[in-house]
Structure 1
Amino acid sequence: MGSPYATQASATALYLSVLDPALVVDTGTEVAENDGSEESVSASEQPLVALLAGQDVLSAGVLGEVAVANNDGTSAACAGVAGEGGAVEIGDPAGCVTPGNSPVVLNLVDVAGLVSARIEADAISATCAGLADGTTSGGVELVNARLIVEQPLLLPDLVVALDTDVAPNTNLLDVLDPTVAALLSPLVEVILNEQVPLDPAEEGDGYYGGLSVTAISVDALGDALADVELANVTCGPSADLAIVPVVPLAGVPVALGTLAVVGAGTALIARHRRGSVA
Structure 2
Amino acid sequence: MGGGIASSGTANATNDGTTESISGNQNPPLGVLGAQTVITAGVLNQYVRAFNDGTSAACAGVLGSGGSITIGPTGNCIVVNGSEVALVLGTNGLATITLRADAIYASCTASSSPSATGTASLTNARITSTILGIETTLLNLPANPAPNTGLSIPGILSILLNSQASSEPGQIEVTALEIEALGGLLATVEVGSVACGPNAVAPPIPTIPLAGAPVALGVIAVAATGGFLLHRRQQALKG
TM-score range, shorter chain: 0.7 to 0.9
Highest Rg: 1 or 2? 2
Question: Which secondary structure does the structure 1 equivalent of 2:4 belong to?
Answer: strand
Q: CA RMSD in A?
A: 3.3
CA contact (8 A) 1:93 1:127 kept: no
* Aligned with 1:45 (options 15, 26, 32): 26
1:182 matched to which residue of 2?
Answer: 154
Count of aligned positions: 211
* Aligned with 1:35 (options 2, 6, 16): 16
Matched, 1:210 2:176: no
Structure 1 pair 240–86 and aligned structure 2 pair: CA distance change class (3 A): closer
Structure 1 pair 94–60 and aligned structure 2 pair: CA distance change class (3 A): farther
1:121 matched to which residue of 2?
Answer: 101
Structure 1 pair 249–27 and aligned structure 2 pair: CA distance change class (3 A): farther
Question: Which secondary structure does the structure 1 equivalent of 2:175 belong to?
Answer: strand
Structure 1 pair 150–249 and aligned structure 2 pair: CA distance change class (3 A): farther
Identity over aligned pairs, percent:
36
Alpha-carbon shift at residue 221 of structure 1 (Å) = 4.7
Matches within 5 A, 1:1-278: 20=2, 22-38=3-19, 40-42=20-22, 45-91=26-72, 96-101=78-83, 103-113=84-94, 115-150=95-130, 157-173=136-152, 181-184=153-156, 188-197=157-166, 199-200=167-168, 208-224=169-185, 226-241=187-202, 253=221
CA contact (8 A) 2:90 2:186 kept: no
Within 1, Cα distance between the matches of 2:173 and 2:85? 23
CA contact (8 A) 1:109 1:221 kept: no
Alpha-carbon shift at residue 116 of structure 1 (Å) = 4.3
Select the structure with the greater relative contact order (CA < 8 A; seq sep ≥ 6): 2
1:264 matched to which residue of 2?
Answer: none
Instruction: Name the structure with the higher strand share.
Output: 2
Deviations 1:188-216 (Å, cap 9, x if unpaired)? 3221111111x11xxxxxxx521111111
Q: TM-score under structure 1 normalisation? A: 0.64
Q: Which amino acid aligns with 1:163?
A: P
Gaps of 5+ in 2: 204-215, 233-239
Q: TM-score under structure 2 normalisation? A: 0.73
Structure 1 pair 237–147 and aligned structure 2 pair: CA distance change class (3 A): same
Instruction: Name the structure with the higher helix share.
Output: 1
CA contact (8 A) 2:165 2:174 kept: yes
